[in-house]
Chains A and B, each alone.
Chain A
Amino acid sequence: MMRELERINRDGIIADAAAIILSGGKSSRMGQPKALLIFDGEPLILHIVRKLQSLFTDVVVVAAPGEQFVELSSLLCSQPDQPNELSELKKPNKPKVKLVRDEVAHQGPVGGIYYGLRAAGREVAFVTSCDVPFLNLALIFYLTSQISNHDVVVPHWQGRFQPLHAVYRRTVAPLLKEQLERGELRPIYLYGKVRTCEIPEEEIRRFDPEGLSFLNMNSPEDYEAALTRWEEKRLQGLGPDSQLSAFSSKPSREGSVSCTVELFGVARLLAKTTEVSLSLAHGATLSDVYSALAERLPILVGRVITPDAGNLSSGYACNVNGIDFVRNSNVKVNPGDRIFIISADAGG
């Protein structure tokens, strides 16, 4: 399995795959849009997008038309959409996502998956919903890696398929369209018609023993319970998805520059380590250090390291050997350098 993962994870990000988040469902019992439920001060959808961006270059959000679309667009898109924006302002901290309308409302997940696959334009896509706070990157990574000889990879958990935590090949889109036309609104009808890889429970448990990945929220009580769980997870180490690191560490590359990255603050807590040794090709730059680090510790991507893994996020700074603060990521790394990744704000 390691070889398979390495092939897919050539650049630390799964090649030619997208993530699709379905946000068009009804939130009637919840009483408020599920995508906007607040976790740790931010709408859930932002957490989900960020997390998926550490694995996928493209993230597509499929939203219901109308009010929800407008709301999500102001939250997620980098195009100014508010005429009264502060002049000269960019919106710095928005993740890069493609937002599409669920063209006909309430066609259920089949509609969402279909519009998402169409918009994503990638060979395969991992599909999830917008109300799952505990996505497990290691599991998602594994599911995606199983697609090579299949059209669908779908987990089977506690006697049920999990179509909204599954991987679909783009080629199934026409079949979904036919299903829509026939009114077959359950994705499960698809599975008998294409090459479907069912992932059994014991396999899932290797990554996610409690099946938290499939825990969605339908009522305020579910939300309360999820918040408590979230806080527990946060206290245990700032995030539920550190599992991935076990699967993505690769043997050091042949290279002539060895350096050590020292992690401080949030980076250290996320990575659960104080330092990482790297071996890079001759002539490597800080940008290469960030990419290699992203590969080793995907948990840092989207948070400490930019989603393209080429630089540090705006809240972080780099100091080389405890002396120079270096902002330019094209600066070359010298053998034996110790590279500190710290917060860019030294206020106290």
Chain B
Amino acid sequence: MYGFHGRLLHVDLNTGGNSWLDLEQSRLRAFLGGVGLGTSLLYDFAPPGVEPFSPANPLIFTSAPLVGTGLTTTAKYAVVTKSPLTGFIADSLSSSFFALELKRIGLDALVITGQAASAAYVCISDEKVEIRDGSRLWGKSPSESESMIRSELKDPAARVAAIGPAGENRVRFATISNEGRHAGRGGVGAVMGSKNLKAVALRGRCGVSVADPQGVEEIAEIVRRRSLGPVTDKYRNIGTVANLAVFNRLGTLPTRNFQQSTFEHAEALSGESLTENNFSRRHGCASCTIRCERLFKSLSRDQQRLEYETLFALGPLCGIEEPEVVLQAAHLCDLYGLDTISTGGTLAWAMECAEKGLLAEANDFGLRFGKAEALLAIIPTIAGRSGLGALLAEGSRRAAAEIGGETMHWAMHVKGLELPGYEPRSLKTMALGLAVSPRGACHNRSGAYEVDFSGQVDRLSADPGRGALVVASENFAAVLDSLIICKFLRKCFTDFYAEAAELFSKVTGWPSSSMELHRIGERIHTLKKLFNVREGWQPEDDWLPARVLDETLPTGVVQGVGLTAGELREMIQAYYQAREWDENGFIPEKKLKELGISTMQNENCKM
């Protein structure tokens, strides 16, 4: 087999045993790798209705056909599991050398079930699988764990993905981290912690073979050259932090828990100012020519990675105006292994509660919007689940349910996942994308905001035409996330599906077409939804937080702009229609058959 290895490794932490299982070509062809393959395996490995923290909930790491082919931006892997934050699918991507090593192990997926009797880490060296004592690592940060494991294994080339204390303590938005990057959203790190699993260490020597090496090389070279052109200028020269100043000006920068969409101190936090005042180093994932990562210096540290989402969530969303504080808070999140978006989102909810006198415990910290010391003091308590931190470690939805009353009105989540830095009221296509996403409020599993920024629609008004646009965006993302190609490369293709199909054919030797990839995108997305339906999804889960529908935006060029429940309902209906689902959002059997899902899942269950 080319591009794939055709097998998975199943590690059972209950017994300490493991088994290598064949992966059928039909499944790989139908779901590719990454998120697609992970979803397909989750559907089969997770017992219906499984509790996210149950040992039976599988934690699945997947590789993908393009990993290791030399194509720029493809050193990525996916982690898929049932999310403790949403109760639905969590599919999270991370990247760099761990991803390359995963493929070099000679597998397409690593499925971990069970729970180790005590703190452990899994070490896989080619065919050899060991479950090792992880007690020394417990309490350590992910990066410290990485280096400790390398020295314990006496192998500086071993690659490690680890959780921090937040994952150990089952903080529902804990991450899995490798080389400073995170599989960030949905609490995959908490699932890992619930298995008493601190880390996965890899060392592989299995090469990747592709069907047409010269053909792949030629395409890789063309894409590489394009990746250095003007379409990636932003990522290469400033990084994603460039979003902040322009989002502020466009009234799409969520501020003080989505009470406003502009921030009066945005210039001080802008990517442009950070570049001028705090720039330390440019960095990138392995095998990437774009190298969008930026490390900034603060008073306390020489280098701190910062992305737009972290900047927005720990900055304007919490009313914080000092770059120094945001950089320190980002560092704490990295250290403990916390998703910065959910951390900022949950804290912003708590700040608003505190300002309105509804969260007495917050007074001990002086927690208010813009209070730097409080922000920095409370992050460690979330990771340690101590005091107020124990409540916040549950995420904004559960915390608001616990406090109750009007605080639920401003818990800014969809399906339990906190909203990213794209204001839905002033980006109407994005509003729909956020409402219907199987992962919860997510800016990655569809890029619906791209439609709003493209000029092909009026971003401030809602209309049913957005249904089909969101469908297209989700299917596109599903293909990107399953091949896997970084979304920041997306504008380097002139006809993505045709070009990706040609590439896929040259990698796998399976003649493919643009039509086939379109279908695969739809199939993957549909299976995510099918998983959610199986796990109890109801139509009311596809909805936006009350604040978005009840309050208009008070400032900036979008002053007075809102989104009504009627408008949202109409867009959601149009979306279901475009998906050919029923009017309540359930998937008709006919659709599943058409996509070949029922047949395949039955076959898979035999495994």
Residues from chain B with Cβ under 8 Å of A89 in the complex: 222, 494, 499
Contacting pair A348 B243 (CB below 8 A): yes
Instruction: With both chains docked as a complex, state the minimum distance between the C-beta of A273 and any C-beta of chain B, in angstroms.
Output: 11
Interface size of A as a range: 35 or more
In this assembly, does A82 line the interface, its C-beta being within 8 Å of a C-beta of chain B? yes
- Partner pick for A266 among B233, B276, B458, CB 8 A cutoff: B233
In this assembly, does A264 line the interface, its C-beta being within 8 Å of a C-beta of chain B? yes
Instruction: With both chains docked as a complex, state the minimum distance between the C-beta of A276 and any C-beta of chain B, in angstroms.
Output: 15
In this assembly, does B132 line the interface, its C-beta being within 8 Å of a C-beta of chain A? no
Instruction: With both chains docked as a complex, state the minimum distance between the C-beta of B276 and any C-beta of chain A, in angstroms.
Output: 7
Contacting pair A315 B557 (CB below 8 A): no
- Partner pick for B225 among A93, A268, A319, CB 8 A cutoff: A93
Dominant secondary structure of chain B at its interface with chain A? helix
For the complex, give the distance between the alpha carbons of A84 and B216 in Å.
Answer: 10
Contacting pair A264 B242 (CB below 8 A): yes
In this assembly, does B235 line the interface, its C-beta being within 8 Å of a C-beta of chain A? yes
Q: Using an 8 Å CB-CB cutoff, how does the interface string of A317-348 with B read, 1 for contact, 0 for none?
A: 10101111111000000000000101111111
Residues from chain B with Cβ under 8 Å of A41 in the complex: 228, 236, 289, 291
Instruction: With both chains docked as a complex, state the minimum distance between the C-beta of A263 and any C-beta of chain B, in angstroms.
Output: 9
In this assembly, does B271 line the interface, its C-beta being within 8 Å of a C-beta of chain A? yes
For the complex, give the distance between the alpha carbons of A322 and B245 in Å.
Answer: 12
Q: Using an 8 Å CB-CB cutoff, how does the interface string of A125-139 with B read, 1 for contact, 0 for none?
A: 000000000000000
Residues from chain A with Cβ under 8 Å of B231 in the complex: 92-93, 314-315, 344-345
- Partner pick for A82 among B218, B499, B557, CB 8 A cutoff: B218
Contacting pair A93 B291 (CB below 8 A): no
Q: Using an 8 Å CB-CB cutoff, how does the interface string of B559-573 with A read, 1 for contact, 0 for none?
A: 000000000000000
Looking across the interface, which residue of chain B has its beta carbon closest to that of A306? B230
- Partner pick for A315 among B229, B247, B458, B502, CB 8 A cutoff: B229
Q: Using an 8 Å CB-CB cutoff, how does the interface string of A289-329 with B read, 1 for contact, 0 for none?
A: 00000000000000110000000011111010111111100
Looking across the interface, which residue of chain A has its beta carbon closest to that of B227? A41
Q: Using an 8 Å CB-CB cutoff, how does the interface string of B213-255 with A read, 1 for contact, 0 for none?
A: 0110011001001101111111111101011011101110000
Q: Using an 8 Å CB-CB cutoff, how does the interface string of B497-527 with A read, 1 for contact, 0 for none?
A: 0110010000000000000000000000000
Contacting pair A340 B249 (CB below 8 A): yes
Instruction: With both chains docked as a complex, state the minimum distance between the C-beta of B275 and any C-beta of chain A, in angstroms.
Output: 6
Max chain A CB contacts within 10 Å: which of B214, B232, B453? B453
For the complex, give the distance between the alpha carbons of A265 and B458 in Å.
Answer: 23
In this assembly, does B540 line the interface, its C-beta being within 8 Å of a C-beta of chain A? no
Max chain B CB contacts within 10 Å: which of A91, A313, A321, A347? A347
Looking across the interface, which residue of chain B has its beta carbon closest to that of A340? B249
Of B163-171, B395-403, B407-415, B443-451, the one contacting chain A is B443-451
Instruction: With both chains docked as a complex, state the minimum distance between the C-beta of B207 and any C-beta of chain A, in angstroms.
Output: 23
A319-B250, A325-B455 known; A303 and B230 CB under 8 Å? Answer: yes
Instruction: With both chains docked as a complex, state the minimum distance between the C-beta of A318 and any C-beta of chain B, in angstroms.
Output: 8
Interface size of B as a range: 35 or more
In this assembly, does B460 line the interface, its C-beta being within 8 Å of a C-beta of chain A? yes
Contacting pair B226 A86 (CB below 8 A): no
Residues from chain B with Cβ under 8 Å of A75 in the complex: 225
Tell me the chain A residues, 33-57 only, with Cβ under 8 Å from chain B.
Answer: 40-42
Instruction: With both chains docked as a complex, state the minimum distance between the C-beta of B313 and any C-beta of chain A, in angstroms.
Output: 11
In this assembly, does B488 line the interface, its C-beta being within 8 Å of a C-beta of chain A? yes
In this assembly, does A88 line the interface, its C-beta being within 8 Å of a C-beta of chain B? yes
Contacting pair A92 B494 (CB below 8 A): yes
- Partner pick for A269 among B235, B275, B460, CB 8 A cutoff: B275
In this assembly, does B491 line the interface, its C-beta being within 8 Å of a C-beta of chain A? yes
In this assembly, does B279 line the interface, its C-beta being within 8 Å of a C-beta of chain A? yes
Instruction: With both chains docked as a complex, state the minimum distance between the C-beta of B204 and any C-beta of chain A, in angstroms.
Output: 29
- Partner pick for B233 among A82, A303, A323, A347, CB 8 A cutoff: A303
Q: Using an 8 Å CB-CB cutoff, how does the interface string of B271-285 with A read, 1 for contact, 0 for none?
A: 110011001000000
Contacting pair B455 A347 (CB below 8 A): no
Contacting pair B234 A266 (CB below 8 A): yes
Contacting pair B230 A314 (CB below 8 A): yes
Contacting pair A264 B225 (CB below 8 A): no
Tell me the chain B residues, 539-594 only, with Cβ under 8 Å from chain A.
Answer: 556-558
In this assembly, does A79 line the interface, its C-beta being within 8 Å of a C-beta of chain B? no
Contacting pair B494 A314 (CB below 8 A): no
Instruction: With both chains docked as a complex, state the minimum distance between the C-beta of B341 and any C-beta of chain A, in angstroms.
Output: 10
Tell me the chain A residues, 47-92 only, with Cβ under 8 Å from chain B.
Answer: 75, 82, 84-92
For the complex, give the distance between the alpha carbons of A303 and B231 in Å.
Answer: 10
For the complex, give the distance between the alpha carbons of A348 and B225 in Å.
Answer: 22
A319-B250, A343-B246 known; A269 and B234 CB under 8 Å? Answer: no
- Partner pick for A86 among B228, B236, B488, B499, CB 8 A cutoff: B499
Max chain B CB contacts within 10 Å: which of A265, A269, A313? A265
- Partner pick for B226 among A40, A93, A327, CB 8 A cutoff: A93
In this assembly, does A204 line the interface, its C-beta being within 8 Å of a C-beta of chain B? no
Contacting pair B487 A269 (CB below 8 A): no
Residues from chain A with Cβ under 8 Å of B232 in the complex: 315, 345
Contacting pair B488 A87 (CB below 8 A): no
Residues from chain B with Cβ under 8 Å of A86 in the complex: 219, 222, 499, 502
Residues from chain B with Cβ under 8 Å of A316 in the complex: 230, 233
Which residues of chain A have a CB within 8 Å of any CB of chain B? Answer: 40-42, 75, 82, 84-93, 235, 238, 262, 264-266, 268-269, 303-304, 313-317, 319, 321-327, 340, 342-348
A-B contact pairs, 16 of them (CB 8 A): A41-B236, A88-B495, A92-B494, A93-B230, A264-B245, A264-B249, A265-B271, A266-B234, A304-B230, A315-B231, A315-B233, A327-B455, A343-B246, A345-B488, A347-B450, A348-B421
Q: Given A86-B502, A92-B229, 17 more contacts at CB 8 Å? A: A86-B219, A89-B499, A91-B225, A265-B271, A266-B234, A268-B245, A269-B272, A315-B232, A316-B233, A319-B250, A322-B557, A325-B453, A340-B246, A343-B234, A346-B450, A348-B307, A348-B421
Nearest 3 pairs of A and B residues by beta carbon: A93-B229, A325-B455, A322-B557
